[in-house]
Amino acid sequence: MRTDDDSWDITESVGATALGVAAIRAYETSREDALFRDPYAAKLVGAVGSEGWNALMTGALSGQGVSDADLRGWSMGSVLVARTLYFDEYFADALRAGIRQIVILAAGLDARAYRLEWPSGTRIFELDQPKVLAFKARALAGDEPAADRREVAIDLRQDWPKALLDKGFELGEPTAWLAEGLLRYLPGHAQDQLLEKVVELSAPGSRMALNLSMDGDMADEFRERRRKVMAEAGIHIDLENLFYPWEDRKDPRDWFAMHRWLVTQGDPVTLLEDHGRTVPDAAKAGMGAHILMTATKPRGDDTL
Ligand SMILES: C[S@@+](CC[C@H](N)C(=O)[O-])C[C@H]1O[C@@H](n2cnc3c(N)ncnc32)[C@H](O)[C@@H]1O
């Protein structure tokens, strides 16, 4: 059960979801037809030193009930691949527009600071809970980030803007923000507060990218089967008890539009198909329940 001030290490509670998505990135990276390569994902998951987590990222859990087809068909796995492509392109576009200040909210085991190309002078702030960032630092010790990477170890329900400013965030400089795989772990009021702060800290020309799964993105039967197989391997991720309800929150597309930011949306299925990946029908319905969006704060001379 969640509480307003709960905290976690990498294998616990919400922390384990960071490992879960990294395991899917490692699995995608290992495919011959991989749509992206994140060589850090396997290193990060491997640093847990657990057979269960290793089996998940290599797809070896397939033999125990989650088939390869399931892994591909499971809408969340497909969404994860789509959203990686979408947010990678979002950052490339922000860099082309001259943005050099990046803030990754709930960075978890996101290795973009290491694996993407960043122009010199780019600052990347990564925010997450202290134990999650400490695990990442241990696992990637010896690896050099490709930008000026700054850790901000803080709970995003606390005064994270102060912590960010203390680490050198420049007010007045356009920022590209990312909240990937975060919002459902916050109750609706905390989502509102977080987005309000993003708006307040954003100079004109700043951008925000986020994803959010609405309800019904996975068939109950498959959810149950997957939970059982993973639990037997010692992996406990119970999204239903980690997520806060969809109904208690505002749709961020409407929220940013109301704040007069320019909103654009991505479609995960089209994105994958445009990259030549066949999306199983079983995954399509769930993927349709997933919001991928960006929003841009207009400069004074932009028209809405
Ligand atoms: C599903 S993972 C996503 C991680 C990363 N963005 C990615 O896509 O690989 C969720 C992340 O949100 C972080 N998180 C959730 N709620 C948080 C909070 N209140 N404060 C700080 N981090 C939080 C977790 O620690 C975890 O790293």
pLDDT at residue 57 in the model? 83
Share of the chain above pLDDT 70, in %: 90
Q: Whose CA is closest to atom 22 on ligand 1?
A: 128
Mutate to test the pocket of ligand 1, among 114, 125, 182 (most ligand atoms within 8 A of CB): 182
Residue to probe by mutation, ligand 1, list 45, 128, 183, most atoms within 8 Å of CB: 128
Burial class (CB in 10 A: 0-12, 13-18, 19+), 57: buried
What are the tens digits of pLDDT across the range 17-64? 999 999 989 989 998 999 999 999 999 999 999 988 898 888 766 555
Residue bearing the CA closest to ligand 1, atom 7? 110
Q: Which numbered atom of ligand 1 lies nearest the CA of 14?
A: 24
Residue 52 belongs to a domain:
yes
Measured CA to CA, the distance from residue 243 to residue 241 in angstroms comes to 6
Task: Look at residue 284 in the predicted model and tell me its pLDDT.
Answer: 80
201 falls within a domain: yes
Which residues span the domain enclosing 214?
13-296
Q: From ligand 1's centre to the CA of 90, what distance in Å?
A: 19
Distance 109 CA to ligand 1 centre (A): 9
Query: Is residue 304 domain-resident?
Result: no
Q: Which of the four pLDDT bands, split at 50, 70 and 90, describes residue 301?
A: low
**Terminal CA-to-CA distance of the chain, rounded, Å?**
42
Tokens of 100: 């050099």
Out of 61-65, 228-232, 243-247, least confident range: 61-65
CA distances to 24, 44, 57 from 39, in Å: 12, 9, 12
> What CATH number does the domain containing 118 carry?
3.40.50.150
Which ligand 1 atom is nearest residue 22's CA?
Answer: 9
Is residue 301 one of the residues assigned to a domain? no
The pLDDT value recorded for residue 304 is 47
Q: Is residue 229 part of a domain?
A: yes
- Half-sphere exposure in the Cβ direction for 79 (13 Å, CA): 24
Average pLDDT of the chain, as a whole number:
90
User: Is 4 domain-assigned?
Assistant: no
Cα(22) to ligand 1 centroid in Å equals 12
Q: What is the Cα–Cα distance from 116 to 38, expressed in whole angstroms?
A: 9
Ligand 1 neighbours, Cβ below 6 Å, are 14-15, 17-18, 21, 106-110, 128-129, 132, 155-157, 180-182, 185
Can you say how many angstroms the Cα of residue 138 is from the centroid of all Cα atoms in its chain? 20
Question: What's the structural domain count of the chain?
Answer: 1
Ligand 1 centroid to Cα of residue 183, in Å, is 9
- In ligand 1, the atom with minimum distance to the C-alpha of 18 is 2
Q: Let me know if residue 2 belongs to a domain.
A: no
1 inside domain: no
